[in-house]
Amino acid sequence: MLARFFSRWERRLYERTAGRRVRPFEWGLDWLGLDHPGDRRPPEAILGEWARAAQACSADFFAAPPTDDYEWRPSEGPEAGTVTFPSAVRTPHPCNDLVSGRLFTVEPRGDGRQDRRRAVVVLPQWNADWDGHVGLCRLLARFGVNALRLSLPYHDRRMPPELTRADYIVSSNLGRTLHVCRQAVVDARRAVAWLEREGFERIGILGTSLGSCLALLTTAHEPRIRAQALNHVSLYFADVIWEGLSTEHVRKGLDGHIALDRLRELWMPISPAAYVHRVKGTPTLLVSARYDTSFPFHLSKALIEACRREGVSFDLTLLPCGHYTTGLAPFKYLDGWTLVRFLRKKL
């Protein structure tokens, strides 16, 4: 009865948002530099070979070359507290290749110095706007954890004029999805480097929904991360797109062109399944919603079981709600306090 109740509630919340487009299926070889005129193999074979190589050499795939081109504005009017830096991964849209972050700091100590003991990179959910997760960041700062809220690729300030939604990071263009999710991870690593450069001592990461997937990939390749909080989780990237309510329109673009098993293989380089073993030394919080229709609970359960098999040290919280309803009272308070408490304790 509760499952049916939340399913209807989630559907109503989902339908409040307009502008979802079913885009055509594309292999997206051009986004990965694989569209060589002389290669006569089928696109699926080319992409499959590339995906296996990317997963096997993931340290190179998610490499984040250092940069000194950070622009920090600590106290300049409406831009106060923002940092920008160039992405190490390039796309056809220059506005998307400038990363933006907002730093929410802990109140200075009695001697007036900034508390730099703990900081967290915050990766919001898919289609979050500029103010998404700001309330959570302020809550973290209030309880002693500095929070750097990072804009995902093709979101808010990084969105080109032809888009109204962040369609290019998750879509039925397979190569583009791989390329842009890689960009998000590399951007997060550069954000971690900036926090360390600014003197923050213990650094963690927090991701929600799509952000939780990207956060785990970042943790698996960034040794400076000391703890991760993953809010709404799945073992496979492809399965969420295939089954989730919030990605119904993406699934429609995939239908008739590819099967789930093959999609799972091609998107394995951006799936937590490939890297769970790499986070076994990092304290982890897994948060799942029991009546989630966007990240169905059985997909979350698969990640939970994988963490157990690999010996990952994790805490688990099951919220008594769905995906969209997590953002509503009273569930948002339970979720927020769970995330803050864990990060305070582990950092």
Q: What is the pLDDT of residues 209-229, one digit of tens each?
A: 999 999 999 999 999 999 999
Please provide residue 84's backbone torsions phi and psi, each rounded to the nearest 5 degrees.
-130, 150
Q: Check pLDDT > 80 for residue 110.
A: no
- Taking only the tens place, the pLDDT of each residue in 42-80 is 999 999 999 999 999 999 999 999 999 999 998 766 677
Taking the C-alpha atoms of residue 158 and residue 175, their distance in angstroms, rounded to an integer, is 19
Taking the C-alpha atoms of residue 314 and residue 170, their distance in angstroms, rounded to an integer, is 28
Structure-block tokens of residue 116: 């730099």
pLDDT (0 to 100) of residue 333: 97
Contact 213, 237 (CB under 8 A): yes
pLDDT (0 to 100) of residue 2: 87
DSSP string, 65-123: ------EEESSSGGGTTEEEEE-SS--S-GGGGEEEEEEE-PPP-TTS----SEEEEEE
pLDDT above 90: percentage of residues in the chain: 92
Q: Check pLDDT > 70 for residue 169.
A: yes
pLDDT (0 to 100) of residue 49: 98
When the pLDDT of each residue in the chain is averaged and rounded to a whole number, the result is 96
Ordered alpha helix ranges (H), 124-271: 134-142, 174-197, 210-221, 237-243, 248-254, 260-266
Mean pLDDT within 173-183: 98
- Taking only the tens place, the pLDDT of each residue in 254-263 is 999 999 999 9
Nearest to 98 by CA among 182, 183, 175, 170: 183
3-state helix, strand, coil in the chain (%, to 5): 45, 15, 40
pLDDT (0 to 100) of residue 79: 73
pLDDT (0 to 100) of residue 76: 66
Beta strands 98-104 and 82-86 are: antiparallel
Q: Check pLDDT > 80 for residue 282.
A: yes
Please provide residue 12's backbone torsions phi and psi, each rounded to the nearest 5 degrees.
-65, -40
User: What is the total count of domains within the chain?
Assistant: 1
Burial (Cβ within 10 Å: 0-12, 13-18, ≥19) of residue 329: exposed
Mean pLDDT within 73-100: 91
**Which range marks the domain in which residue 184 is found?**
2-17+24-346
CATH number for position 213: 3.40.50.1820
Model confidence band, residue 170 (pLDDT cutoffs 50, 70, 90): very high
Q: What one-character DSSP code corresponds to residue 276?
A: G
Nearest to 325 by CA among 296, 298, 303, 293: 293
Contacts of 65 (CB under 8 A, 6+ apart): 88
Contact 66, 193 (CB under 8 A): yes
Taking the C-alpha atoms of residue 284 and residue 14, their distance in angstroms, rounded to an integer, is 29
Model pTM score: 0.96
pLDDT (0 to 100) of residue 108: 84
Q: 42 preceded by cis ω (within 30°)? A: no
Taking the C-alpha atoms of residue 314 and residue 321, their distance in angstroms, rounded to an integer, is 21
Q: Check pLDDT > 80 for residue 305.
A: yes
Q: Check pLDDT > 70 for residue 248.
A: yes
Q: Check pLDDT > 70 for residue 7.
A: yes
Q: Is 227 helix (H, G, I), strand (E, B) or coil?
A: strand
Tally the C-alpha atoms within 13 A of residue 317's C-alpha that lie toward its C-beta. 20
